[in-house]
Structure 1
Amino acid sequence: MAHVTIYSSDYCPYCHRAKALLRARGVTEWEEINVDGRPEVRQAMAQRAGRTSVPQIFIDGRHIGGCDDLHALDARGGLVPLLNGTPG
């Protein structure tokens, strides 16, 4: 299973929705980096992702984007292969 990193906030419904989709696709563990009250962490996320909103999701170091991007990738049939290490 691929390594998943999620920059998130406790109060973000999109973060919860993205994690629910990952769970539904068989992901049981991920690295979660909470940005709440941590401007330096949010700044590092923004430098890495090019965006300031959460969630920001990376799979095996590849920036996927936010919740809508993750759902769009899944709808195109690309999420499961990526999680299994076979990007399409």
Structure 2
Amino acid sequence: FGSSSNQFAFVLLGLSRKSAMASVDEQIASADVVFFDMPGCPYCADAERALNDKGIAFKKVNIAAYKPALREKTGKTSAPSVWIKGTYVGGCNDGTEPWHGVKPMLSNGKFEEMIRA
């Protein structure tokens, strides 16, 4: 999937690439922790449960309309896509960096550290 497939996806959603990126950026900036969720996704449910168990507040957003823009930003379209204060931190167990993933970051304290920063 190259940039032309992303452009096609934006067109299918009725968005220009620029407005789609602005829309996802607006969502990412709308809360300290933003959780792009896909209904029925077991990894989403697992990550959500882990955040709730730690008492961490987050904004949950359905990922469907944002997948093309998230692919542009992270190279990934998998769910969940979790962001702390505008920084992508991966999904449930991993991400694009070795330290990413909700559950590993909760275990080592990095998640809470980033919220407090």
User: So what's the TM-score if we normalise by structure 2?
Assistant: 0.60
Counterpart of 1:56 in structure 2 is 81
**Which residue of structure 2 aligns with residue 72 of structure 1?**
104
Equivalents in 1 of 2:113, 2:54: separation in Å?
A: 10
Return 5+ residue gaps in structure 2 as ranges: 1-30, 94-100
Higher helix share: 2
How far residue 78 of structure 1 moved from its aligned partner, in angstroms, is 1.5
Aligned length: 80
| Aligned alpha-carbon RMSD (Å) | 1.7
Distance 2:60 2:108 in 1: 25
Identity of aligned residues (%): 26
Question: Which stretches of structure 1, 4 residues or longer, exceed 3 Å deviation after superposition?
Answer: none
In structure 1, list runs of 5 or more residues that go unmatched.
Answer: none
The Cα shift of 1:16 comes to: 1.0
User: In proportion to residue count, which structure has more strand?
Assistant: 1
Higher gyration radius (CA): 2
